[in-house]
Amino acid sequence: MTKKIVVTGIGATSPLGGTAQDSWKALLAGESGITALEQDWVEKYDLPVKFAGQAKVQGHEVLERVEWKRLDPSSQFALISAREAWADAGAPDVDPIRVGVDYSTGIGGLWTLLDAWDTLREKGPRRVLPMTIPMLMPNAASAAISMNIPSRAYARTDVSACASSTEAIANAYDHIQQGLADVVIAGGTEAVIHPMPIASFAAMQALSKRNDSPATASRPFDTSRDGFVLGEGAATIVLESEEHALARGAHIYAELAGGAVTSDSYHITAPDPEGSAAARAMLAALAQAGAVPSDVDHINAHATSTPVGDIAEYRSLLRVFGDHLPNIPVSATKAATGHLLGGTGALEAIFTILALHERMAPPTINLTEQDPEIPLDVVTTARPLRDGPLLAISNSFGFGGHNAVVAFRSYDN
């Protein structure tokens, strides 16, 4: 029998705020989390891009010293957001063998890896920290969450570039349906605001170079969009069956109605320009939700602000929604947060959940001249959603041709 899966807790640390609710409030207010980088390495390496979406709250500000010293920043962000989500869910009194973790990252402990390499070259092998491997491995974040909550059903890690955390949420849906856990902590994290990935992304011509105006650099669907903005942070949701949540009197934000994953099998970095596989992911997520395209009331688009990515997503949306597409309000929240890579899908899932919960579509900032080839109904100021039951999807697409989509329904407690 298919179970109804619901969201009972949310947590985040993002460029907009140190909690999920603070991030949401800043998003609704039209704020930008993109700022100039002030680290000395920006000038040292003469980086062509000098700004990013840095997390409002860093690990050393809220974690115990012994914790942040033994965790890469990516795991620090994950632990901060997971603790918030778990507390928000009421810290469920659940046997740990019935609690699972589906977590993700696009790159993993990059700061730890590159710092260790610098230490090896400059000081020799005896100065490399013994905790280097446990800190840099991609599953470090899920392990840290699992040991902290605790969770003993399983602790899995999804690594599928920018689709990672949406895929993790879709997998959590399946794992609860399969009976592998009663409660699942799902989400994603990333911490790669470092000179090497900035230099690499810039060399690919993937990043915006608006050094003179960081806050307006991420411009999804705008005619002047010139690339994405790198962001960092983590976001986490707590999922469980409706029956389990009601039995313990939990507050329910929304229903996770479905999720799906597909592959372009087209190019390692560029999306399929026709968007056929992305469209299949949306249709599969809706089918799992028992819905059809005309049921959808809101879309949180992947919309990275790249010239090729935004138009490819529009084409995929047109394939799915056809004549209904102009009726759907679309939000592109990376305009405010930047692109958190492996953490971005989970953060945007939270924004989608709260859009349904509060019946308010968040704005897309920095849209001054909409690309005429992308005639979407883009939300530019916070807009109320209609009364009655609501259905929304959140899209994530990643390097390697990974496509992941989740569908959420509003829920009346």
d(CA 319, CA 224): 25
Structure tokens given for 58: 């860093």
Q: Which of 238, 357, 339 minimizes the C-alpha distance to 348?
A: 339
Is 162 noted as a catalytic residue in this protein? yes
d(CA 63, CA 59): 6
d(CA 254, CA 379): 21
Is 175 noted as a catalytic residue in this protein? no
Q: Which of 330, 245, 321, 337 minimizes the C-alpha distance to 283?
A: 321
d(CA 410, CA 311): 29
Cα→Cα distances 370→46, 207, 367, Å: 33, 20, 6
- Which residue in the list 175, 302, 357, 402 is annotated as catalytic? 302
The tokens 């899932």 sit on which residue? 349
Judge whether 361 and 383 are in contact, CB under 8 Å.
yes
With vertex at residue 162, the alpha carbon angle to CA 160 and CA 165, rounded to the nearest 5 degrees, is 70
Sign (positive or negative) of CA dihedral 272, 276, 277, 278: positive
First to last CA, the chain: 23
Is 244 noted as a catalytic residue in this protein? no
Q: Is 66 helix (H, G, I), strand (E, B) or coil?
A: helix
Q: How many residues does the chain have?
A: 413
State residue 205 phi and psi, 5-degree precision: 65, 30
- Which residue in the list 162, 175, 244, 298 is annotated as catalytic? 162
Structure tokens given for 45: 């390496």
- Which residue in the list 194, 244, 298, 339 is annotated as catalytic? 339
**Neighbouring-strand partners of residue 410:** 254
Q: Which amino acid is at 101?
A: V
To the nearest 10°, the Cα dihedral for 299, 304, 308, 309? -50
- Catalytic residue set: 162, 302, 339
